[in-house]
Amino acid sequence: MPWSPSDEINVRVGADHWLEGVARWPSENCDDRSDPDDITLLVVHNISLPPGQFGGPHVKQLFTNCLDCSADPSLADLQGVRVSAHLFIDRSGAIAQFVPFDRRAWHAGVSSHRGRAGCNDYSIGIELEGTDETAYEGQQYRVLADVAACLLSHYRRLSLSGIVGHCEVAPGRKSDPGRTFEWRRLYKDCLQRIGGDGGAHRH
């Protein structure tokens, strides 16, 4: 059964690098990492399709190459686009996973972090259903913190300082997750789950 925020379970990464109990929507838009153990970055994005509309099937359809781009004029420029993220967290906090964490999802595009280019190669991408100007839901923060803490525990080369926004790895090109995103809230919630200082990064 798909995981939802009302379920009293712990988020865990399985041996196959998928979250246990989470809805799986396998995407072809992925490939091998140059080093599957080199996961040092978690990139937070936002997405809504059509832009500003929540709750429809279009994001999942986009990541699985079955989006009908004629369904809405705003989708026309997505014709032929091949993108994905590892995870999508909708407004209710429900999670869908598209790519196993040991594979490279196509989420960051042209990007770099601390002088290292090609962030897709060493990052995990998480999409929140939202826009730059819309406040995120409490359930989304709670679930994102649960997932981030789980990933920090499982992938030991990932640290709290490696949790960043798309805007940080593609400045001037991307602005998500936007100015409404509460970074301090996320870091505080992660620290409560993992303990210690986590190498905390401050926005």
Catalytic site residues?
127
CA–CA distance, 155 with 158 (Å, rounded to integer): 6
Q: How far apart are CA 48 and CA 157, in angstroms?
A: 31
Q: Where are the alpha helices (DSSP H) in the chain?
A: 58-63, 138-154, 166-169, 183-194
Of 87, 62, 99, 60, the closest CA to residue 3 belongs to 87
Cis bond leading into 50, ω under 30°?
A: yes
* Nearest partner of 61 among 25, 33, 94, judged by Cα: 25
DSSP annotation of 190 reads H
Rounded to whole angstroms, how far apart are CA atoms 114 and 201? 13
Contacts 24+ apart (CB under 8 A), 9-13: 10/150, 11/146, 11/147, 11/150, 12/150, 13/101, 13/150, 13/151, 13/154
